[in-house]
Amino acid sequence: MTAVTTPMTELTGVILSAGKGSRIDPFNAHYPKPLLPIGNMPILAHHLAFFREVGIRKVVIVVGYMMDRIISHLGRGDAYGVEITYVEQEKILGIAHAVGQAEKHVQGPFLLCLGDIYYTSSRIGSMVDRFRTENLDAVLAVKQETDPDIVRKNFTVELNEHNLIKRVIEKPLKPTCLLKGCGIYLFSPWIFDCIRRTPRTALRDEYEITSSIQIMLDDGGRVAAADVIDSDLNVTFPMDLIDGNVSFLRTQGLQHLVDPTATVALGATLNLCTVGANARVDARELTECVVLPGAHVAAGPPLHRAIISADVLLRC
């Protein structure tokens, strides 16, 4: 993540990391999804690095599934240059419900990220600039897509004549435009009032953040869409973890990335692979593979697009 803006010390960072992530089985048995690595850094660590770059020092992480592992890994945030407070979401009842759990720890505007999305951008700082200069109540990060099917899986927005959002549509069957919501939001505290008035949806029986945003709009809120995302990846399935790591390596101009504590045999060949801490790779050719911390890849035939943990080898 890359962002350039002036320090925003009054902003709080909020990350939602409570879900189980059942579709990334079997790795969710040992990893809460936000701790899965992109470029040998947990997805959460990428968010914390972004927050630090834009001057955010106070971070609230909403946790649930395997929260002890997240807390143990990140601690109070000293290693990341932030101060982390953890809040438990005891029941998984949707994004709006999760955001509401953070209310007592948020005193002003806050930048919200979903913990299982990895994204790149050089322009997110402009969200903060618009929020400040245009007297906005919220800014939603969006991305211009070319495939309507991608938009149908997320949410889209409709703009008014002033180029502000007049409507948000969750998972639209017939998108009226190809602006896709990306799971990054800048909110004023007013959103908490809107969340309290948000009903459960009939579709998923959850409290959707898009419903809360629509309540804000209906009450006269000024909400803007910011097309600031270069790429985003919701790490939902195992193949997404591979795609995210390959994308990271290519973006960084790297052929591979090996943790300093890992061991790679002289006869091993790594093509667009990441090798985590204390892992071992014997003489073998690996292409587009993710070797998780502590895993051992024994010598053998070439291996293509696989995730290897200490007890699982999954080809994708």
Residue 205 belongs to a domain with what CATH number? Answer: 3.90.550.10
Same domain, 79 and 108: yes
Domain assignment present for 116: yes
- Residue 306 structural domain: 238-315
For the segment 250-259, the average pLDDT, to the nearest whole number, is: 97
Domain assignment present for 87: yes
Answer whether residue 239 shows pLDDT above 90. yes
pLDDT grade, residue 268 (50/70/90)?
Answer: very high
State how many domains the chain has. Answer: 2
Domain assignment present for 31: yes
pLDDT tens-digit readout, 143-178: 999 999 999 999 999 999 888 999 999 999 999 899
Which of the residue ranges 15-29, 46-60, 70-84, 238-252 would you say has the lowest mean pLDDT? 15-29
Structural domain ending residue among the three candidates 185, 215, 234: 234
Domain assignment present for 163: yes
pLDDT score recorded for residue 19: 86
Same domain, 95 and 121: yes
Residue 262 CA to residue 47 CA, distance in Å, equals 25
Domain assignment present for 214: yes
Same domain, 19 and 66: yes
CATH of residue 288's domain is: 2.160.10
Same domain, 81 and 143: yes
Same domain, 256 and 227: no
Domain assignment present for 4: no
Same domain, 249 and 223: no
Residue 119 CA to residue 218 CA, distance in Å, equals 30
Structural domain ending residue among the three candidates 187, 211, 234: 234
